Structure 1
Amino acid sequence: MSNTPDTNAETSAAAAWATAAAVLAASGTRTVFGLPGDDMYALEAAHRAGLRFVLCRDQRNALFMATGWAIQSGGVGVAVVGKGPAVTNTLTGLLEASASAAPLLLLSGGTGAQHRGSGAFQELDQLAVVAPLVKYAARVDHPDRLVPTLHRALLVARHERGPVYVELPEHLLAEAVTPAGEPAAPAAAETPQEVLAPAGSAALDALRTARRPILLVGGGMRHANGGREVERLAERTGAAIFCTASGRGTVDEAHPHFCGLAGLYTPEQAAPLWEDTDCVVALGSRLEETATFQWPAGLGREVPVLQVNLVAADFQTLLRGPKVLADAGAAVRSWLTALPAEDAGGGWAARVRAVHTAIHSDSRALLDGLAGSPDLHIAEVLRALDAELPADRILVQENGLQDMWSYKYPLYSCHAGAGSVVPSEQTSLGFGAAAALGVKLAAPGRPVVAFVGDGAFAMAAADLPTAVAHGGGLLYVVLRNGGYGWLQVQLDQRQEPVGDHAFVDPEAVTAPAPHLPGLHQVTVRDKASLAGDVALAWEKAAAGEVVVLNVPVRLTDAMFGADVAGGDFPVLAAPAGK
């Protein structure tokens, strides 16, 4: 292959990757996550284009990091991998990005056209493998299609909110790439127009006639409530505000109308509001199972559920009520212009505020009660973090047996300025532990804390060196129960033993993370040392180190019980020691 360019085309083997890197840079991309193919062309191209390439040890972790980056920043996360098994290693990450509605672009290598079907090294029909998990998938077989394909992929990722995939097969690298001049940034699709709310619109009529409304804020509202319009709408209508787990950080949870998370995580004090509401307004939510868990039977039947989503496929069509295809933030702003300007008073608003107050009062009583126990509780760890960390912290969460305490409002509260990044309904194990680095790189000036179990942490541990290299100021709080606590609890409650299997190792409860230069570790010795240990861990993280705070915990200290027979969700359990 000749490397000599002529006047019309560049024939460098790296030309395709160089063009791809230039398109990314022109689109605003500054950081790429991944593990490049062994030809190193992608790495070289990123370097020449001025992109930061975060070299990961595991392709799944790279996708998790890019997804975390996308969720936190609102921009398109980018990952680059090789071909064959490198692509299959990304599938869990693509699944998580899809379920999280995270804009993500995966670029991979691929078998050249001349070798397809010959049993070539690492040959795989990668398009068929990734297609069910992405919004758009393309293989670029002709150099003239490279730039327009990348532009289309970026547009789809941005505006359909999900992962996309582009394959650059090996033969493309050896063909002349016609220069496209300075690659232009993909033309940004217009933000959906403000949703006009004529007097007769079903959505506005539902809002106007509701006397006991609930606003349910989903992940589709992230980055769409900068003017606190949701809180203003709640004040205008007297509505209670709830959020889904993925919607946390969108609204100020200190607002007197905020009453916690919906569905599985609904505070006991707030359940009567769901029984008595006459209208639920779901903003940017797919209304997945955890968000609607134990909803009263009448919701979506006798009681309307008004849904606002940007993508029609996200509507729950079994529920009765108006469906607005629009940007949820734009819809809220439009409604505010059409509704009366005065704040709503009346019995419902007063009842909502009383629930908010009761949730906080009961939480303080719970923590005060736990303080009298000699045992250390996870709820107390969250209280210590809340006392020590700055107000603009971002908590990156997992969804295992015991890290779910962080979902219990207000043990962790996303007041104005604080943030939260959680796994999707897929709850891919290890997502939060790996995504935390992507979140940190997207928000370098803010404290980022990963609140994870030791099983999830172990799955992401291959990329601890990556975190040390790139994630200064990152704190991992690792709850150590000796392994996969959720599975152990399920095993322990079976009536008949299942061999001598175990999912946890009691000896591992006190085991630290692997020793690694540049990684600082603090282990909580007991309840008396907790405050000082948290303060030391944060002091080291605030100074720019990557810190692991090891917290030995007991399996019995679980937010949920273990009755999941038949696929049902567990019921709330009292904290151990209470």
Structure 2
Amino acid sequence: MGEPRYTTSTAFLEALGEAGVRYAFANLGSDHPGLLEAYAQARQEGAADRFPELIICPHESVAMSAAQGYAQVTGQPQAVIVHVDSGTQNLGGTLNNAAGARVPVLIFAGASPYTQEGELPGGRNEFIHWVQDVPDQRGIVRGYTKYDNEIRTGHNVKQVVHRALQIARSDPAGPVYLVCAREVLEQHIEPVRARPETFTPTAPGALAPEVARRIAEALAGARSPLVVTSHIGRDPQAVPELVGLCESLAVPVVESVPMYVNFPADHPLHLGYQWNTPGPNPVLAEADVILVLGSEVPWVPSINRPRADARIFVVDVDPLKERMPLWHVPAEVFARADPGVAVRQVADLVAAGPFDAAAVERRRADVRAEHERQVAERTERARPVNGTITPEYLAACVRAAIDDETIVLTEAITNFAVVSEQLARSEPGTLFGSGGGSLGWHAGAAIGAKLAAPGKTVVSLVGDGTFLFGVPSSAHWVANRYQAPSLTVIFDNQGWKAPKLSTLAVHPDGVAAANDDFNVRFTPEADLPGIAAAAGNAWGRTIDDPDELPAALKEAVDVVRAGRSAVLAVHLPSV
């Protein structure tokens, strides 16, 4: 077998391990012989633990979503390995999700060999090497990545990898992309040393003292202050800091398009959620001072906006949303800071400064009363209607079937608001959304979340369209192979409701509305649980009787906790 070889591939995989990357989610191709040889050699030497564990994913979107899910739960970046341009393209919208969720992921793709006459090991020897040679492979992802680069030599490969991960982890975090040709991956080099501790991410930024004081004074002097947030819960430790600030002044919180637990739903200062709100939110409309604390879409201004004289302050690691071509909030201050750090600064100033204690207590009582009214209203909606299962009833039954530590992945799209309201999660780090606009994230993310937290139950709440977008045959095969079981509950309305609602919003009196002609129904119906059963030995069932729902959910949860994935499709009123 010859002498052991140390190559660029060896150094690349070592660098990932040195950086704390636990898994490499991979869809392999003709550009990866160097990596496969390095893995085989390491296993033969009994030293494979210095590399990330290779998780084989038969579809790239599953690999990317799995890496994102792991990183969302742990905060630690993971790696994705894909095949040249085709594998990169097959990542598709999952890049949108990782970028939108600000999640660190390192994507590595090979590149077509750059020699063809046998000049170097790894040169072109298959017809596909010409077909997959494109002018700008890195350009495929440049609109969604923070950084892209080509590894040109093994001598500095570790520096390039550690720099890429340093950028990926620095706020605003996001995916990075590296490419490398086969000849470079096969390069025989001396062992490469690195100092990963010198590639730490940028430290969290704080508010300028005068800005922190201005925000604190505005909140303390407000008649009707409000915090709007979407993702401060990305850092679970920031949530109790926000609770402390809000309790000191009785400031209510509204979560707008939340992808995390940003504020405990059972707290009396929690005043609900905003998604595609059909009309003005009275809480937002009454506020005279609004702190937008980490939010891409704090409200939809054409439908739901603050009053004209409201004082607005925007605090985020990316307060201007620099990668969004069209975005504006009419704020008097835009401050670049870590939301958790900023909250602590403002809270300290509030505690030291004067405020009207009697007014705060009156507001506290008013907000508590509104919170209780909202809870009672949501509870009243959580029941079947005329013998059919409603989304509200389904979400409420899921809440009863799981515990506070269960990790919930929310991707039910037209039922986003229902899931938020009825699940009412209060434990930070137990609710995650994709962060972007590409559907099917849950399928891979559930695998990553389970690998990140093997002692916890993982539950995905999805629509039937979303379930199919997740490439369930691939995802459930991976989950079965790597013992990463989860429960998927399908809000099954037998079609795509989102395009129908969008059409009705623009053409409420149009022909499509008059004729109920939207081209969104899934007929004939597919056996969705059957896909998971066939591909991944999952437990599967479809129900439409509300009386059967609690027992079916209990059985499904028990199956997952015993080590087997489960898919429960629940028929709702048809789209």
Query: Partner of 1:167: helix, strand, or coil?
Result: strand
1:27-84 deviation line (CA, Å, top 9, x unaligned): 1111121212234443454562342222111112211221222222222132111212
Aligned to 2:77: 76
Is the Cα contact below 8 Å between 1:155 and 1:186 reproduced in 2?
no
Give the aligned residue type for 2:512: R
Q: How does 1:76-475 map to 2 (within 5 A)?
A: 76-114=77-115, 120-124=130-134, 125-160=136-171, 161-181=173-193, 184-185=196-197, 187-192=199-204, 194-195=206-207, 197-198=209-210, 201-226=213-238, 228-265=240-277, 271-287=281-297, 294-296=303-305, 298=307, 302-314=309-321, 317-340=328-351, 345-367=360-382, 370-371=383-384, 373-401=386-414, 403-404=415-416, 406-409=418-421, 411-416=422-427, 419-426=430-437, 428-459=438-469, 460-461=471-472, 462-475=474-487
533, 537, 544: which one aligns with 1:518: 537
Higher mean displacement: 206-215 or 195-204: 195-204
Is the Cα contact below 8 Å between 2:226 and 2:254 reproduced in 1?
yes
Supply the RMSD in Å over aligned alpha carbons. 3.2
Is the Cα contact below 8 Å between 2:147 and 2:177 reproduced in 1?
yes
Query: Partner of 1:91: helix, strand, or coil?
Result: coil
The structural deviation recorded for 1:153 is 0.6
Aligned to 1:569: none
Aligned to 1:66: 67
- TM-score w.r.t. structure 1 length? 0.84
The structural deviation recorded for 1:200 is 8.3
The structural deviation recorded for 1:485 is 4.0
Over 3 Å counting, the alpha-carbon distance change for 1:364 and 1:221 in structure 2 is closer
Q: Within 2, Cα distance between the matches of 1:34 and 1:441?
A: 15
Is the Cα contact below 8 Å between 2:388 and 2:544 reproduced in 1?
no
Q: Within 2, Cα distance between the matches of 1:237 and 1:54?
A: 49
Query: Partner of 2:388: helix, strand, or coil?
Result: coil
Over 3 Å counting, the alpha-carbon distance change for 1:390 and 1:200 in structure 2 is closer
Give the aligned residue type for 2:52: L
Q: Within 2, Cα distance between the matches of 1:23 and 1:511?
A: 40
Over 3 Å counting, the alpha-carbon distance change for 1:361 and 1:190 in structure 2 is same
Q: Within 1, Cα distance between the matches of 2:514 and 2:346?
A: 58
Query: Partner of 1:345: helix, strand, or coil?
Result: helix
Over 3 Å counting, the alpha-carbon distance change for 1:498 and 1:452 in structure 2 is closer
Give the aligned residue type for 2:345: S
Give the aligned residue type for 2:28: P
Please tell me whether residue 42 in structure 1 is matched to residue 35 in structure 2: yes
Is the Cα contact below 8 Å between 2:231 and 2:260 reproduced in 1?
yes
Is the Cα contact below 8 Å between 1:249 and 1:420 reproduced in 2?
yes
Query: Partner of 1:28: helix, strand, or coil?
Result: coil
Query: Partner of 1:451: helix, strand, or coil?
Result: strand
Please tell me whether residue 32 in structure 1 is matched to residue 24 in structure 2: yes
Aligned to 2:120: none
Q: Within 2, Cα distance between the matches of 1:413 and 1:187?
A: 39
Higher mean displacement: 521-530 or 497-506: 497-506
Q: Within 2, Cα distance between the matches of 1:507 and 1:264?
A: 28
Please tell me whether residue 531 in structure 1 is matched to residue 550 in structure 2: yes
The structural deviation recorded for 1:415 is 1.4
Over 3 Å counting, the alpha-carbon distance change for 1:4 and 1:121 in structure 2 is farther
Q: Within 1, Cα distance between the matches of 2:419 and 2:302?
A: 15
Over 3 Å counting, the alpha-carbon distance change for 1:416 and 1:221 in structure 2 is closer
Is the Cα contact below 8 Å between 1:265 and 1:408 reproduced in 2?
no
1:440-489 deviation line (CA, Å, top 9, x unaligned): 22222221111112222123213210122235441011233334344467
* Percent sequence identity over aligned pairs: 21
Q: Within 2, Cα distance between the matches of 1:225 and 1:250?
A: 10
Give the aligned residue type for 1:256: P
Give the aligned residue type for 1:149: V
Query: Partner of 1:494: helix, strand, or coil?
Result: helix
Query: Relative contact order (C-alpha < 8 Å, sep 6+): which is higher?
Result: 2
Please tell me whether residue 504 in structure 1 is matched to residue 522 in structure 2: yes
Is the Cα contact below 8 Å between 2:66 and 2:449 reproduced in 1?
yes
Q: How many aligned positions are there?
A: 538
Q: Within 1, Cα distance between the matches of 2:269 and 2:521?
A: 42
- TM-score w.r.t. structure 2 length? 0.85
Give the aligned residue type for 1:234: C
Query: Partner of 1:248: helix, strand, or coil?
Result: coil
Is the Cα contact below 8 Å between 1:23 and 1:185 reproduced in 2?
no
Is the Cα contact below 8 Å between 1:144 and 1:177 reproduced in 2?
yes
The structural deviation recorded for 1:239 is 0.8
Query: Partner of 2:160: helix, strand, or coil?
Result: helix
Give the aligned residue type for 2:66: M
